[in-house]
A = this chain, B = another copy of it.
Amino acid sequence: MADIGTVRPLWWEDDAICIVDQRLLPEHYRVRRLGDVESVREAIATLAVRGAPAIGIAGAFGVYLGMRSLEGDDWDRRLGEVAEFLASARPTAVNLSWAVNRVVEVGRRTRNTQALLDAALTIWEEDRRLCHRIGEFGAPLLEACTAVLTHCNAGALGTSEWGTALAPIYALQSRGKILHVYADETRPLWQGARLTAWELSQAGIPVTVIPDSAAAVVLRQGRVQAVVVGADRIASNGDTANKIGTYGLAVLARHHHIPFYVAAPFSTFDLSLSCGAEIPIEERSPEELVFAGGRRIVPEGAAVWNPAFDVTPAEYITAFITDRGVIPPPYPEQIAKRIRPEI
């Protein structure tokens, strides 16, 4: 097992990417060394590495790995092939193609493998700084809490380190303040039970897993003093798409007068969307609900509705915690103010 300490899902070591294979968690902690572009692509495609920032970073290193033994005239053609090969591993993941393209642009300009590696290291380092900024901005909001509730995994495992929703908790830990975290198990894929509980335990932060349906009682009994979640996409008015269950939590938090925070990089704001109704909601395979551990749970005659995300209207969100600072209401105005910040 890893030593107690903040988890990193991937790192660069001896000219290879090392990743924690997330498919095996929490049963097995296994580090895989990815030394060529083929194994990087396979790890991304099979979800051994997951979380938008983390797969972007892996893809960036993958470009370097695909190019490092190449010299000469084939450079540009090969660079295009490597980029296409990597980006197609998860075609809808915006961060992956964004990160791959950023390294490819450096490659076209420099035709130099060391410059590719430097670009990938920069992307990794930027993500670390961004997560740490979210943590530092969020820490004061949670400082007076003894416990918080979170949903799904918006933690270190999906980024370079620290994550987004969990970043303020790690930031407080680095100052010697330990919060207790309640983690919704997060059906149907159990990211809360499998991933959030694992990374917090590894970091030495006490965590209690609950069924999603027990969150209301946790709030009613005052076991937590805040709710913190991540976000997949935020409209310009603050309406927020995140893992299914987030909206219900937000309503329950308001009902119990408990603050509800959304932590995300500012790049999660999709300023082309005026409100949440414009965010497309992915419906995932019924199989995720029909079977559990190989056993059939839902009978054949029954229908299944399995939306991956829901949209929480901005009015339920106490504040956003971003790398550009905490954004309080009123929302369209306060969000707009951060669009061209002086950092």
Contact = CB atoms under 8 A, between A and B. Distances in A.
B211 A212 contact: yes
B210 A305 contact: yes
Contact of A289 (B193, B292, B305): B193
A215 interface: yes
A207 B310 contact: no
A26 interface: yes
A292 B288 CA distance: 13
B247 A217 contact: yes
Contact of A303 (B185, B209, B244, B295): B209
A16 interface: no
Interface in A7-58: 25-27
Contacts of A303: 206-209
Interface string A63-101: 000000000000000000000000000000000000000
A259 B293 CA distance: 36
Nearest to A186: B213
A220 interface: yes
Given A213-B245, A216-B248, A310-B216, A302 B187 contact: no
Interface string A279-307: 00000000001011111111111111111
B212 A247 contact: no
B247 A194 contact: no
A26 B298 contact: yes
B198 A297 contact: no
Contact of A301 (B25, B202, B298): B202
A172 interface: no
Contacts of A306: 210-211, 214
A27 B255 contact: no
A252 interface: yes
Nearest to A293: B293
Nearest to A306: B211
Contact of A310 (B27, B214, B295, B307): B214
Contact of A197 (B25, B247, B298): B298
Nearest 4 interchain pairs by C-beta: A293-B293, A213-B245, A216-B248, A201-B301
26 contacts: A26-B298, A26-B299, A186-B213, A187-B212, A187-B213, A193-B289, A193-B297, A194-B298, A197-B301, A198-B302, A201-B300, A201-B302, A208-B302, A210-B289, A210-B304, A211-B245, A211-B306, A213-B245, A216-B247, A216-B248, A220-B247, A248-B252, A252-B252, A255-B255, A292-B293, A293-B295
Given A194-B298, A208-B303, 6 more contacts: A26-B297, A190-B292, A210-B304, A211-B245, A211-B289, A251-B252
